[in-house]
Amino acid sequence: MARATAVLAGTTVVGVVASIWLYLENRSLRSELADAKPPPQVAVADKPAAAAPPADPWQQTQARSGEIRSRSPSSAQPALPEGPKESRLDRRARRTEEFGAMFGRHEGETEEEYKNRMGPMIAAGLLMPRARVAEYRRIAEEKAKVTPEQSKKLDAAFDKVYSDVLDYTNKAIADGQLSPYERNVAGWLDYAGGLGGILNEAQGSVGKILDPGQIKTMYESGFEWGEYLGLNAPWENLNAPPPPPKGR
């Protein structure tokens, strides 16, 4: 159970980062596809055919000369050299800069200004997932016959869990383990392991409120406490990261 919770926490963190990364990637691909599309052709209405003028011997001679010239091989028209194409590594480096610009501190931005900018965006992004897991919990509690009193006790126990998650994450941000300015997959995974430990301790609190039969019924219904707690932690209240390093 402990390992499953740690894996779930890891996939949750990596999944959030990957979603943002793929959003930036897809936005660039859509831009490239739009640039590659040929301009739309405008249909021109057919004009009524005018009566053909009488044949002019001089014009017929010129037309035959032009036809002969068109059949003769001609040299290719000069073309401008193509600009350098962006490689995958170049694109990846650009995504890192875009990620830092979105989730990092702007120049001269205070911590309060950062929270006012990022808080609503994070809350909006978690609105639907939070509503989904809340519905999962409601259904699972009904199946396990969890009483309203037990549900309230669970919510009260989770307040400390959320506080521990925020403290742990804020420390990781302050130490640079979670940094928006660089790719640090090893740091993300190490952080996810510690987060899994916190969520696993939370399941111990659940075991003091629900009986084993209720816990088993909720688990067999497909509900995961680790997922629920991971999404409902108040991520929108996280501290701002340090300002970007000089030269970035």
With respect to residue 45, please indicate whether it lies within any of the assigned structural domains: no
Tokens 């519905």 sit on residue: 135
With respect to residue 184, please indicate whether it lies within any of the assigned structural domains: yes
Which residues, other chains included, contact 107 with Cβ-Cβ below 8 Å and sequence gap of 6+? 243
Check if the beta carbon of residue 196 is closer than 8 Å to that of residue 132: no
With respect to residue 16, please indicate whether it lies within any of the assigned structural domains: yes
- Which DSSP string corresponds to 80-144? PPPPPPPPHHHHHHHHHHHHHHHHSPPTT--HHHHHHHHHHHHHHHHHHHHHHHHHHHHHHHHHH
Which residues, other chains included, contact 224 with Cβ-Cβ below 8 Å and sequence gap of 6+? 8
Q: What angle do CA 52, 53, 58 make, to 5 degrees?
A: 125
The count of domains in the chain is 1
State the pLDDT at residue 73: 54
- How confident is the prediction for the chain on average, in pLDDT? 78
Of the pLDDT bands very low, low, confident and very high (cuts 50, 70, 90), residue 245 is confident
Whole-angstrom Cα distance, residue 208 to residue 177? 33
With respect to residue 115, please indicate whether it lies within any of the assigned structural domains: yes
pLDDT in tens, 162-205: 999 999 999 999 998 999 988 888 898 999 999 988 988 888 89
State the pLDDT at residue 4: 45
With respect to residue 37, please indicate whether it lies within any of the assigned structural domains: no
- Domain span at residue 108 reads 2-27+92-237
Average pLDDT (149-161) is 95
State the pLDDT at residue 3: 47
DSSP 8-state symbol, 222: T
- Collapsing DSSP to helix, strand or coil, 62 comes out as helix
Q: How far apart are the first and last CA of the chain?
A: 43
Whole-angstrom Cα distance, residue 71 to residue 15? 61
- Collapsing DSSP to helix, strand or coil, 42 comes out as coil
Of the pLDDT bands very low, low, confident and very high (cuts 50, 70, 90), residue 148 is very high
Average pLDDT (132-141) is 97
With respect to residue 190, please indicate whether it lies within any of the assigned structural domains: yes
Is a pLDDT exceeding 60 seen at residue 237? yes
Q: How many CB atoms lie within 10 A of CB 64?
A: 10
State the pLDDT at residue 212: 96
State the pLDDT at residue 210: 97
Average pLDDT (112-123) is 94
pLDDT in tens, 215-235: 999 999 999 998 999 999 999
With respect to residue 67, please indicate whether it lies within any of the assigned structural domains: no
Of the ranges 60-64, 87-91, 132-136, which is most confident? 132-136
- Collapsing DSSP to helix, strand or coil, 242 comes out as coil
Check if the beta carbon of residue 241 is closer than 8 Å to that of residue 171: no
Closest CA to 195 of 16, 15, 2: 2
Of the listed ranges 40-49, 84-93, 111-120, the least confidently predicted one is 40-49
With respect to residue 74, please indicate whether it lies within any of the assigned structural domains: no
pLDDT in tens, 43-64: 555 555 555 555 555 565 555 6
